[in-house]
């Protein structure tokens, strides 16, 4: 059963994914039914591989079905930094993959006719002060130098796009957009099933064991023997594989959704239907959906929630951005866990022969997790690791990982205070 959210009430119907029963064989067994696992399943099945995906709950149950729905281009570090870190060859391929990920996602939606309210109206990286405006300008200049459809917008331009004078400027990338994320996840599942993949919900992987001819994955109702294993559990990674859980920091992100707004109010507060995220110390993001609901999100309580009470700060902030929202009704509040990495890059690992893991999208998982599923498929279909568009690295557990929740909570409060004071 899905946690309560607006998406759970409004998503496209789910395809049947019954629990695994008995013994099965496959070329590839995928653990995790979010964007990474579903994309990998689809790409592999399209290529003729025998694929079986195991999901503990149902496809899209985790962050893939609860996020802000923003299809953002790029990686967290700026383009020049990526090429400094990885060199012009690999760094250039990483940039092509990540900044091209939205176009690839929307092409996937069209090819498989996925009904997910897809809209490619751009992404706005809004600067809350002079410091973040200078950073947005630098990033826009780096992008423009590479010939990408990216520009810097002045404070006046951003006010015209958003209906608020809050911002000091912004980087605007025409390639971004948004989707109904749970509908997108369910659409990926349907497309993978149509290509011959097998998907089993209610089937948590409990144990992975090496066998002479590959691997055996055990669930409460059965088992799968496979040549290859894909671990695609991101913010909900457990101890199924040694050290993997401790290589990322799971962080809850919260979203509040308004009741549908009158057309004149919706046009006034968000004249341009691009999605937006703030470039502050603590990210706030928002977009308008097809029903004129405002969805605003950000870091919040580091525990599960199911209503707007614990995230009043988000709805109060919306009313400060747009005073016309002061009396609006907020109908839904929810959250889910994303995965952060210490170096701010997504991680791709091959911890043993035939085993591949991908996780740690740092809040950019809609486009990047979908793209990473394609990279996993390329690798398992024979592409050498060094020819992939993301580096394959060793699993590196984070020291003192057990203190992450306290550290994250402290950082959230510090960021909110510093952003509010303009420090």
Please state the rounded mean pLDDT for residues 209-217: 96
- Residue the block writes with tokens 């599923």: 373
Please choose, from the candidates 336, 362, 359, the residue with its C-alpha nearest in 3D space to the C-alpha of residue 65.
336
First-to-last alpha carbon distance for the chain, in angstroms, is 43
Nearest to 308 by CA among 341, 331, 284: 331
Query: For position 415, what pLDDT does the model report?
Result: 61
**pTM of the predicted model, to two decimals?**
0.95
Tell me the mean pLDDT in the region 42-46.
99
From residue 237, give the alpha-carbon distance in Å to each of 60, 146, 168.
15, 36, 38
Tokens standing for 19? 């629990």
Q: In whole angstroms, give the CA distance from residue 257 to residue 335.
A: 12
| Of residues 146, 87, 104, the one with CA closest to residue 386 | 87
Span 228-270, pLDDT tens digits:
999 999 999 999 999 999 999 999 999 999 999 999 999 999 8
Q: What pLDDT does residue 301 have? A: 85
Q: Quick one: pLDDT at residue 418? A: 61
The CATH number of domain 6-67+182-249+342-403, selected from 3.50.50.60, 3.30.930.10, 3.40.50.2300, 3.40.50.720: 3.50.50.60
For residues 153-171, average pLDDT:
97
- Which tens digit of pLDDT belongs to each residue from 168-188? 999 999 999 999 999 999 999
Q: What sign does the dihedral 109-114-120-124 (CA atoms) show?
A: negative
Q: Write the Ramachandran bin of 58: left for phi over 0, alpha for psi from -120 to 50, otherwise beta.
A: beta
Q: What is the pLDDT of residue 282?
A: 73
Whether 283 contacts 277, CB under 8 Å: yes
Domain borders along the chain are: 6-67+182-249+342-403
Q: What is the DSSP string of 220-278?
A: SSEEEEEEEEEE--GGG--TTSTTTGGGSEEEEEEEEEEPPPPHHHHHHH-SS--EEEE
Q: Round the average pLDDT of the chain to a whole number and report it.
A: 95
Asked whether the predicted pLDDT for residue 377 surpasses 50, the reply is yes
């Amino acid at each position: 059963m899905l946690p309560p959210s607006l998406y759970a009430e409004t998503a496209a119907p789910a395809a049947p994914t019954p629990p695994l029963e008995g013994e099965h064989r496959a070329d590839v067994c995928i653990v995790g039914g979010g964007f990474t696992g579903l994309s990998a399943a689809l790409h592999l099945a399209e290529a003729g591989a025998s694929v079986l995906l195991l999901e503990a709950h149902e496809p899209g149950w985790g962050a893939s079905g609860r996020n802000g729905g923003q299809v953002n281009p790029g990686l967290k570090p700026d383009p020049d930094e990526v090429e400094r870190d990885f060199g012009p060859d690999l760094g250039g391929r990483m940039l092509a993959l990540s900044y091209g990920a939205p176009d690839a996602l929307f092409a996937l939606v069209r090819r498989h006719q996925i009904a997910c309210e897809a809209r490619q109206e751009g992404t706005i990286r809004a600067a809350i002060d002079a410091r973040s405006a200078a950073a947005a300008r630098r990033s826009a200049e780096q992008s423009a130098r590479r010939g990408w459809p990216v520009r810097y917008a002045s404070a006046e331009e951003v006010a015209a796009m958003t209906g608020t004078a809050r911002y000091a400027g912004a980087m605007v990338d025409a390639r971004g957009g948004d989707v109904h994320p749970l509908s997108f996840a369910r659409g990926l599942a349907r497309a993978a099933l149509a290509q011959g993949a097998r998907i089993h919900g209610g089937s948590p992987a409990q144990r992975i064991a090496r066998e002479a001819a590959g691997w055996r994955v055990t669930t409460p109702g059965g088992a799968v023997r496979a040549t290859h294993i894909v671990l695609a559990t991101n913010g909900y990674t457990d101890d199924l594989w040694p050290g993997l859980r401790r290589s990322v920091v799971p962080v809850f992100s919260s979203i509040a959704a308004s009741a549908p707004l009158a057309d004149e109010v919706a046009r006034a507060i968000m004249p341009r239907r691009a999605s937006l995220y703030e470039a502050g110390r603590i990210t706030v993001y928002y977009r308008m959906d097809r029903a004129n609901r405002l969805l605003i999100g950000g870091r919040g309580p580091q525990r599960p929630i199911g209503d707007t009470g614990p995230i009043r700060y988000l709805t109060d902030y919306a009313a400060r951005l747009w005073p016309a929202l002061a009396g609006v009704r907020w109908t839904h509040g929810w959250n889910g866990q994303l995965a952060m990495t210490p170096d701010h890059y997504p991680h791709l690992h091959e911890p043993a022969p035939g085993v591949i893991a991908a996780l740690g999208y740092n809040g950019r998982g809609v486009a990047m997790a979908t793209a990473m599923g394609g990279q996993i498929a390329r690798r398992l279909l024979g592409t050498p690791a060094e020819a992939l568009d993301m580096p394959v690295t060793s699993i590196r557990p984070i020291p003192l990982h057990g203190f992450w929740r306290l550290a994250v909570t402290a950082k959230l409060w510090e960021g909110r205070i510093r952003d509010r004071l303009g420090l």
